Structure 1
Amino acid sequence: MDDWHKEFWDVVDSVAQGIEQFVQDVTQAVEVIHNEIAIDIEQFFEEVFDVELELRPGENDLFPDHWGELSDWLVNPRVEPDPTTHPCCVGCQNYHGRIYGGNLLVCAMHPYGWQDETCPDWEGKGN
């Protein structure tokens, strides 16, 4: 009768070990899949856009910080100002230039851009 406590805890320990092994196996599988996807994405961008990316994570780094930057670039592309489109924004550190829902957000002070040749809020990069 007294052995049932020991048997119970042996079963609990066995289940805990099984769960731990399962989690380790899943983690390894996710790392393998993640690395394969990263390699495919890198190759795609290198071939199509002639852009070099380094997306493969380091050890124990399943979701590197620059994945967010990549998804921002894909979902909300950046539009650079030029002499014909928002010329007063060229070189301004406040310029944002990302498209959200089909609308260009130029900057926080002037969401639709400044219409004159000189913006009163223009600040050079590095100032």
Structure 2
Amino acid sequence: MEDWSKDFFEVMENAASEVEHFFSDISEEFVEMLDVLAKISEEFTEQVQNNLIPEVDGYLQEFDGYFNEFLEPIIEICRDFDPEFDEIDLSMVTYVDPSPTQQPACRGCSNYHGQVYGGNLLVCAMHPTGVESDASCPDWEADSDLNF
């Protein structure tokens, strides 16, 4: 009888050892799989950041340029017909380019912000509502992106 119980416990110990070994192998494989997935995720993110985002940004900037080219003649015609047209509600506009009639001293300035917040145009940090002179600004700095 002693041999039977000894054999039974030996089989149970071997089974427990095999189950432990199995789960250890599975956990190692799982960790390796997670490492591979993390690496793939990092590579995918890098590809999106390096390729897709600049391309989409370029398309959006190109669209913005075409849209502005489309709107400017319409705005100029409206100004010719309605002298109070410059009093437009800017709440729908998100960016305003400096033009010969609006913020002319800011054209080509790297400090120009031109974003509209709550219907109010923020020209730049130094002159939130714009400079008083149409000719020049004491804080004007050349925009490196533009060739003036």
TM-score, structure 2 length as denominator? 0.42
TM-score, structure 1 length as denominator? 0.47
Bigger Rg over Cα: 2
